Amino acid sequence: MSFRVTAHRRAEEDVAQVSTWLASQSLDGAAPWLDAYDNMIDQLRDSPLSFGLAPENELVDSEVRQARFKTRRGRVYRAIFTIEGDDVRVLRVRSPGQGPIASDELGIA
């Protein structure tokens, strides 16, 4: 079974912010990060239930999971998402060192 993955506006903004910052530091850094993000999205299409619950899960009534992905330098990022039927919705993307997201910043009720 293949899932349809979409990104919430805030997740798209998170991705743009991270990739822009990485590109400002090193053009060679942004492209591999985007590749790692795209690979994680492919994994969500195939098996989103294989990823565990996010710390944010305790803050809301909906089930919230996280997909961890890392750069070639080993920095771990998190994509926070929900699953509804065949749809996976990426809510936010967090960089290393960023703590859990407040429930009102997830974009779900």
Assess contact for 78 and 65: CB atoms under 8 A. Answer: no
Tokens of 52: 């565990």
Looking at domain 4-99, its CATH architecture is: 2-Layer Sandwich (3.30)
Averaged pLDDT for residues 64-88: 93
Tokens of 40: 């994680």
97 pLDDT tier (thresholds 50, 70, 90): confident
Q: For the ranges 58-62, 75-79, 99-103, which has the lowest average pLDDT? A: 99-103
Q: How far is CA 8 from CA 82, 92, 97, in A?
A: 11, 7, 22
pLDDT at 47: 96
Mean pLDDT for the chain? 91
Q: In what order do the strands lie in the sheet with 76-84?
A: 4-7, 87-94, 76-84, 65-70
Residues 6 or more apart from 79 whose CB is under 8 A from it?
Answer: 11, 37, 40, 41, 44, 66, 67, 69, 90, 92, 93, 94
Parse the chain into domains and list their residue ranges.
4-99
pTM of the model: 0.91
% pLDDT > 90, the chain? 65
